Amino acid sequence: MDRSREALLRERLQTGFLGVIAFALIMFMLVQAQFILISLAVAIILFSLTSDAIGAISRQGVPNRLATALALIGIALGLLWLSTTIVAQVNAVVLTAVAYAEQVQAALPGLIEWMGPNVGASLETALRNIDVSGWIRSLAGQAGNILSGSILIILFVGFMFAERIWFPVKVERLAGDPATALQWRRIIASIMHRVNRYLVVKTGVSAVTAAIVWVIFKIAGLNLAGPIAMLTFILNFIPSVGSIVATVIAFLLSFVLSGDLTVAALVAAACTVTQFLIGNVLDPMLLGQTLRLSSFGIILSLAFWGAVWGVPGMFLAVPIMVAVMIVCAHVPWLRPVAVMLSREGLPEDGIDEASPAPPAQPDLQCQSATPGE
């Protein structure tokens, strides 16, 4: 009896150690291959967003290959335009930072005096420890990575479109029976539906917020209205934290550019009201019950993926969390995880949603291995 208990304890310890080793290896791979994995995740999201558009265009009588080619060309042009725009705005920020270096030093004493001796001393110490030149070099390097990442994303999306028609057949053969394959495809369709709706709504809301911030800076007569609007647009994709960071940056930048604390306070107040109204009225009204994620779970997801992949991980935290919750809802021993990630403790499996599964391709099994033939 004692030997059986010892054997059971030894087996559990071995399983625990193997689990720890596997988790460490996964974390190591996530960190080391982050550039490729981030590009792949963005490519999957873009592929998901354009698949519905391609289906809608094809139903209007446009050939599927032509619709796919147009979608791929649109993605390529959009990514290249976005990359060059970000690089141009980064260059503008770097040049302006060099030009306003003396003005920043002249404005700091007034800000420190306004905050009081204790807070001012802490702020002054923190500012002295900031390596501005290193930050500018890092910013320029990240801007260069955006261009190379865009090329990799375009390649990924292109090959995904090439394999698109074979996906239902692969799922059915992997599942082993048509019923299980149908369920898997419905799960994937549910994930795509929720993530697509979230990203479309978030893009529109972020664009409106960025436009209002641009107008605020123009009315105040401040430079860098374009870069701060783009930064606001990007940061608004980070839930909870992004809008706060964007408002703080807008306040600091307006103070540095104007040298007037009153102007900076008015700009910060206008940006705060904009973020509050859009984030608490327009955003929930448009998203509705699409996500149903726990707020605490979102913060944990932001912290985890931010620690693993940095800022890009924070952008991908919500789509990854949606996928994890839906998948875990279908696995009995992982359902407690889905319960904890959901807002009301009632995770939905997505099967009853209005989004149908992708149409099957029964005739593909009789075709040759090359779609172009």
**For residues 321 and 195, what is the distance between their CA atoms, to the nearest angstrom?**
10
At 362, is the pLDDT very low, low, confident or very high (cuts 50, 70, 90)?
Answer: very low
- 3-state SS assignment for residue 293: strand
**For residues 224 and 209, what is the distance between their CA atoms, to the nearest angstrom?**
16
Full-model pTM: 0.73
Longest dimension (CA), the chain: 83
In a domain, 169, yes or no: no
Q: Who contacts 224 (Cβ-Cβ below 8 Å, separation ≥6)?
A: 92, 93, 96, 217, 253, 257
Given a contact cutoff of 8 angstroms between Cβ atoms, the answer to whether 315 and 242 are in contact is no
* Closest C-alpha to 291, from 196, 355, 218: 196
**For residues 321 and 338, what is the distance between their CA atoms, to the nearest angstrom?**
10
Q: Who contacts 361 (Cβ-Cβ below 8 Å, separation ≥6)?
A: 165, 166, 168, 169
In a domain, 361, yes or no: no
Helix H, strand E, coil C: the string for 148-197 is: HHHHHHHHHHHHHHHHHHHHHHHHHHHHCCHHHHHHHHHHHHHHHHHHHH
**For residues 81 and 87, what is the distance between their CA atoms, to the nearest angstrom?**
10
Beta bridge partners of 293: 342
Tell me: pLDDT of 245 over 50: yes
In a domain, 124, yes or no: yes
Name the average pLDDT for the chain. Answer: 77
At 340 the pLDDT is 85
At 294 the pLDDT is 81
Domain encompassing residue 154: 34-101+120-164
Q: How many domains does the chain have?
A: 1
Beta bridge partners of 342: 293
At 121 the pLDDT is 61
Given a contact cutoff of 8 angstroms between Cβ atoms, the answer to whether 171 and 181 are in contact is yes
- 3-state SS assignment for residue 342: strand
**For residues 147 and 156, what is the distance between their CA atoms, to the nearest angstrom?**
15
Higher pLDDT, 122 or 340: 340
At 71 the pLDDT is 79
At 353 the pLDDT is 47
Helices (H) and strands (E) in the chain, counts: 15, 0
Structure tokens at 31: 């960190």
pLDDT in tens, 37-48: 988 998 888 888
Tell me: pLDDT of 289 over 70: no
At 354, is the pLDDT very low, low, confident or very high (cuts 50, 70, 90)?
Answer: very low
In a domain, 366, yes or no: no
In a domain, 44, yes or no: yes
Mean pLDDT of 51-63: 75
Sign of CA dihedral 278, 280, 285, 287: positive
At 211, is the pLDDT very low, low, confident or very high (cuts 50, 70, 90)?
Answer: very high
At 213, is the pLDDT very low, low, confident or very high (cuts 50, 70, 90)?
Answer: very high
In a domain, 138, yes or no: yes
Range of lowest pLDDT (155-159, 327-331, 343-347): 343-347
Between helices 167-175 and 178-219, what is the axis angle to 10°?
Answer: 130
Mean pLDDT of 91-114: 61
pLDDT in tens, 108-154: 666 666 666 665 566 556 555 555 555 556 655 666 677 778 888 88
Residues of the chain above pLDDT 90, percent: 5
Sign of CA dihedral 201, 203, 206, 211: negative
Range of lowest pLDDT (97-111, 226-240, 300-314, 359-373): 359-373
Mean pLDDT of 345-351: 60
Range of lowest pLDDT (16-30, 76-90, 130-144, 221-235): 130-144
Sign of CA dihedral 356, 328, 322, 339: positive
In a domain, 149, yes or no: yes
In a domain, 199, yes or no: no
